Amino acid sequence: MLRPMLTVVVTLPMLLANTSVHADVITGIWIDHTGRGGVEISECGTNLCGRIVWLKDAGNKKGCGVQVIGNAKSVGKDTWDGGWIYDPEKNARYSVELKAAGTDRLRVTGYMGSKLFSETMIWKRAPADLTRCDGPSSGPERARTNAPEGAPSIPGAKDGASPAVGCTKYVPQLGTTVPSPCPR
């Protein structure tokens, strides 16, 4: 009885610590497969999320800050799956798998239901001197809450609190995402 319990006590902290180690390979800013946008992938709780932080067309501020990846969960070494990716051009969401392909490449696979019906794109790590479109208003608090700057608080939330991490919805009229209650 003591041996299985000891194994759990020793193994659980190692598993939790490994989640962050694996995320380090994927977190950061990535230039998408078209070369027209940069997405910052960051930890949102135990999952990964991503939002647009650079646009090739600097005059197009409308897309800046839009969350395009959410709820990706660690499923193995350098692989995250079970989340979603948003395609702003098609105004559609797909399931997503993110897999490191070295230190400067990211394999992004969007799929509908089954990976049999998927599209895989290779994103490249952005240069360190990339000029962000979200300016100085970005930061750990904004990344952690997944809320665009100036987003309304959720009615009924105490002290303007944000919803659970990673839960947003796209509002076409605003051209951005806003916090949304997570499904239970």
Kindly tell me if the per-residue pLDDT of 122 is higher than 50.
Answer: yes
Cα–Cα distance between 41 and 28 in angstroms, integer? 5
- Decide if 182 is inside a domain: no
Model pLDDT for residues 11-21, shown as the tens digit of each residue: 334 344 344 44
User: How many folded domains does the chain comprise?
Assistant: 1
The answer to the question of residue 152 being in a domain is: no
Model pLDDT, residue 147: 39
Does pTM surpass 0.75? no
User: Which domain covers residue 111, as residue numbers?
Assistant: 2-146
CATH number for the domain including 89? 2.40.128.520
Evaluate if residue 95 carries a pLDDT over 50: yes
- Residue 44 pLDDT > 60: yes
Q: Decide if 31 is inside a domain.
A: yes
Structure tokens at 154: 């959720």
Nearest to 41 by CA among 17, 16, 15, 74: 74
Q: What percentage of residues in the chain have a pLDDT greater than 90?
A: 49
